Amino acid sequence: MNLEIRLLDVIAVAVYLAGMLGLGAYFARRSSSAETYFVGRRDYSGWVVALSMLGTIISSTTFLALPAAAYVLDWRQLAVNIPVPLLAVVASVIFIPFFRRAGLTSAFEYLGDRFGTPARLYGTVSFVVLQLIRVAQVLFLVSLPLQFLTGAPLPWVIVGGGIFVALYTIAGGMETVVWAGAAQALIMLLGGALCFVFIVTGLPGGLGQVIEVGQADGKFGFGSLDWNIHQRTFWTVFILGIVNWLNIYSGEQTMVQRYVSAGSLREARKATLLFAGIAFPMWTTFFFIGTALYVFFKVIPDPNVARLQPDQVLPYFVLTHMPAGLAGVVIAAVIAAAMSSLDSGVNSIATVLVVDVLKPHVARGRSDAFYLGAARLITGGAILFMTLGALTFSLIKKESMNDVSLIVSSVLGGALTGLYMLGFFTRRVDGFAVNVGLAVSIAFNVYLGLGLLGWLPAAISVKVHSYWVGFLINATFMIVAYGVACVRRPDARDLRGLTVWTPDSAAAKPESR
């Protein structure tokens, strides 16, 4: 479906894109070392880092897929984010100091120090696979409104988006990611506010009508409160949220890069708490926008909407019911939401592959210029895979991309959350116990995945909802690893600074400011 191209919308989007290219060109001149490319100058203030976190996490999945989830179903997928404020406090008190150790760049360096090389490589590979899938999802989503705006075929839009990300990300590195993310977060907030206002004011009954019709049709519900591992109930989504956000706060590379790029421990903690304080109300707002869209097109029917994918409904509304120019600002906000996740995602992939694979194993002792060049080359390769992945997602039939995102994080997330929890909170578990636990959990993960795909006979498959897979894998890993540790003598390793029970007070002193 092609919509009328409006000059003011194109101008608004073009101004935003030109600004991002300018930022990339400016910071490319300052990224003269691999260290700067990965973590910037490690001197950013808390508010800049918080906005960068917001830009990274609040992607086009938020801007398009959350309204689509509420439009199609209800608010039950919001439950995945309910643990965020509490876990932000846990991260500030416990997790962040572990990653503020001198010289740390990658989240998986901690796993190597704590459990050895296999755990570090497992974490690296798991992260890279998940991150490639995530950025592909984001690129696909941002291509939908751009297709409406330009009238170009969706594959062309996806390829063009990949090329644009390459132009401003490959050269600039982390400096571009942090400052562009901060700017993009502000644009996102403006775009979300504009959507909210125009949907609500476009209804004859305004906000009251949204609430009245939404309640009558069960659009504000959080799903069944029954305890049922076969269904997408409130508790299923909530527990998935605990596992996901523990993983993000305790070892997600894009988040850890923000922790270590802040100017001090205090600024890193401030950033994390500020992010949580903004993010949850923002997620709630986008779910409300989805419900309001449902009410809008129920009260004011449009036959074209029935032919759209759920993720296309919001951009369709923006380009058909908002004034020219302002609609372009919202589309720019959708692009901003995507770009802030795409640039940080591909930069984090380059970071971990250089720091955790290239430097210690494949190309030891090379020059800083070699590693900087390798990082830029890996970033380009990640963008190529991202583009191919987005083209694949454009061919898949789905309820909404938010549902796809939750399934992917659950089924392919592995035992990373359990790895960090055992690392932080136990002294007994060592590398041998972890390796046994990983072997068992990987086999169990494959078994559950084959069952979900229907590739196993019914007699030997376990029927659980896909959202439960992540919890079951992490629980299995921790039980097995801790059980093995309990029946053998642990390695006599120095754990100072690696667990909550063995703090390294001397190393922590400089971070007390």
pLDDT band at 364 (very low <50, low <70, confident <90, very high): confident
Q: Is residue 433 a contact partner of residue 439, using CB atoms and an 8 Å limit? A: no
Q: Which residues contact 409 (CB under 8 A, 6 or more apart)?
A: 130, 240, 244, 470
Q: Is the pLDDT of residue 348 over 80?
A: yes
Q: Which are the contacts of 164, defined by CB distance < 8 A and separation ≥ 6? A: 17
- H helices of 322-455, in order, are 326-352, 368-393, 401-412, 416-425, 431-452
109-131 pLDDT per residue, tens: 888 888 999 999 998 988 888 88
The predicted pLDDT at position 392 comes to: 87
Q: Span 91-97, mean pLDDT?
A: 87
In this predicted model, what pLDDT tens digit does every residue of 20-59 receive, in sequence order?
777 666 666 655 555 565 555 666 777 788 877 877 776 6
Enter the pTM of the model. Answer: 0.76
Tens digits of per-residue pLDDT, 461-473? 777 777 788 888 8
Residue with the two structure tokens 């398009």: 64
**pLDDT band at 365, cuts 50/70/90?**
confident
**209 pLDDT tier (thresholds 50, 70, 90):** very high
What is the model's pLDDT at position 484? Answer: 93
Contacts by residues 502-508 (CB-CB < 8 Å, ≥ 24 positions apart): 502/427, 507/101, 507/102, 508/97
pLDDT of residue 25: 67
Alpha-carbon distance of 83 to 75, in angstroms, equals 15
Helices 154-169 and 7-28, interaxial angle, to 10°? 30
Which residue in the block uniquely carries the two structure tokens 């500030």? 92
Contact 220, 74 (CB under 8 A): yes
249-289 residue pLDDT tens: 887 888 888 888 888 888 889 999 998 888 888 888 889 99
Domains annotated for the chain, with CATH where assigned, are 7-30+46-512 (1.20.1730.10)
pLDDT value of position 336: 72
The per-residue pLDDT for 507 is: 46
Residue 494: CB atoms within 10 A of its CB come to 9
Computed over every residue of the chain, the mean pLDDT equals: 81
Q: How confident is the model at residue 480 (pLDDT cuts 50, 70, 90)?
A: very high
